[in-house]
Amino acid sequence: MSSCTGISVSLSWLVILHIMLRLHRAATHTPLRLSKTAIHILRIRACRGFATGSQPYDTIVIGGGPGGYVAAIKAAQLGLRTACIEKRGSLGGTCLNVGCIPSKAMLNNSHLYHQTQHDLKARGIDVSGVQLNLSQMLKAKDSSVTALTKGIETLFKQNKVDYIKGEATFESATRLSVNLLDGGQSEVEGKNIIIATGSEVTPFPGIEIDESQIVSSTGALDLQKVPEKMIVIGGGIIGLEMGSVWSRLGSEVTVVEFLPFIGGPGLDEELGKQFQKILKKQGLIFKTNTKVLSAEKIGGKVQVKVESAKGGAEETIDADVLLVAIGRRPVTKNLGLEKIGVEMDNKGRVVIDDQYNTSVQGIKCIGDVTFGPMLAHKAEEEGIAAAEFIATGHGHVNYGVIPSVIYTHPEVAWVGKTEQELKNEGVKYKVGRFPFAANSRAKTNKDSEGSVKFLAEAETDRVLGVHIMGPCAGELIASASLAMEYSASSEDIARTCHAHPTLSEAFKEAAMAAYSSPIHF
């Protein structure tokens, strides 16, 4: 590894300089003397050499997020000479830097704060003088992010992935120009290129985000004081998670959602209604079936005008902070895709086939910038599959078993089909339910809100979908994904011994309810 940027180069700057000196001496019979500045410039240029026309990379990945960095590591593990280009200056993409990871830090720590205030006394733990130290909570979040992003750099070194810090633009189907973050420009060539540039916040027309008073999820993770009132536009996963954080820390949070339900696509309607009731009980205010018309900063407040989604009288609500969380969109700006003829759809997504090939030979695409749910773990699976396609000609992702999780409290997680989807498809199915209120571990922990719901094919008993709301739902859903990957029946799960007392017994008993009857309910 080169010490200058962590990038492997075929010749160190010392070797290059030595060759130049010898050539000069042979030609002139006199020694060549270079200034310190000239030597420094030679060293930088050697470090930025990356690859030459005669030495193209086997694989170049544009983007160092969950899909990109995983693709790069897997490609290297499969014996491909690999580089990863990332313009942020730190690896991990939105997920590690301003998304999944920092939000989970805030969710966990705000839950501990809220639990200390409202729950510990009933458990026989008397605590007094509890105060929020928001600056320390934000530091804890940042330290988690730094540790994990640095960890990926270590993984790159271990797997011999060249890490290029800069913004890449296609010059041709095999050559990229890179504006380096530390100044200057370079070009790299690759036999195969994987686009993994991720997504960015979708703006709300007419509302300008300043990341201080009108914020995206990025700004919501770094507010320097708890707002007295917060309005969240969008009742999907991001809006509910961020709304929960600031509600626990003392803010009055109002969630405005255009649809009649919260949680976004994939959330089971039955569980979604229960979920909304629980969040309302926690203090969140919901305005569903409501359309946002405008938002304006007036007198230190943000005034938001809304009306019924079906039309009606305008209403103005105000807050100290407005969070815009209406979704995300693909990032393709400055890539130069039009120049080389990469096809995109009307939503700005890169069009791919079932092997992640774009319309241009040798260029693949994965993650948020193309089709499918914008989930880090989905992008990771695609990264591995894309690398395998390049190295071996085959790869696979089962899109029927990509789980989703809302990391509120209680958590909500699901995989596979919903009841609504099965009805629309005309599939005959049976349902098994089991409440955490009947689970011994959940009752003992005084954390028993929610339930597990199984959907199984009526004729074959094959599990078609699992929906969980309750403690550790995000962990429990992995068992459902594994079972569905192997086409398990609900009876297969029900007849598998689960340890007692554990939350996983609720999972087992819901499976029992689907194929026969549960024991404890």
Closest CA to 241 of 373, 101, 379, 403: 101
Q: Give dist(CA 387, CA 375) in Å, integer.
A: 19
Q: Which of 402, 328, 327, 337 shows the shortest CA–CA distance to 62? A: 337
18, 396, 500, 520: the active-site residue: 500
Q: Confirm if 268 and 453 have CB atoms less than 8 A apart.
A: yes
Active site annotation includes 500:
yes
The token pair that represents 423 in the structure block: 């009805």
Distant-in-sequence, close-in-space partners of 132: CB < 8 Å, separation ≥ 6: 113, 226, 249, 250
Name the residue with tokens 């992702």. 397
Q: Could you give the CA distance from residue 330 to residue 222 in angstroms, rounded to a whole number? A: 23
d(CA 90, CA 67): 15
Write out the two tokens for 394.
């085959």
Between CA 330 and CA 366 the distance in angstroms is 11
**Rounded distance between C-alpha atoms, residue 48 and residue 417, angstroms:** 49
For 157-225, the DSSP string reads HHTT-EEEEEEEEESSSSEEEEEETTSSEEEEEEEEEEE---EEEPPPTT----SSSEE-HHHHTS-SS
Q: Give me the phi and psi of 466, to 5 degrees please.
A: -135, 135
Distances in whole angstroms, Cα of residue 517 to Cα of each of 237, 295, 431, 491, 512: 33, 52, 11, 11, 5
The pairing of beta strand 229-233 with beta strand 252-256: parallel
Of 207, 435, 437, 425, the residue nearest 323 (C-alpha)? 207
DSSP 393-440: S-----GGG--EEE-SSSEEEEEE--HHHHHHHT--EEEEEEEGGG-H
The DSSP line for 31-75 is: -----HHHHHHHHHHHHT----TTS-EEEEEE--SHHHHHHHHHH
Q: Which residues are catalytic?
A: 500
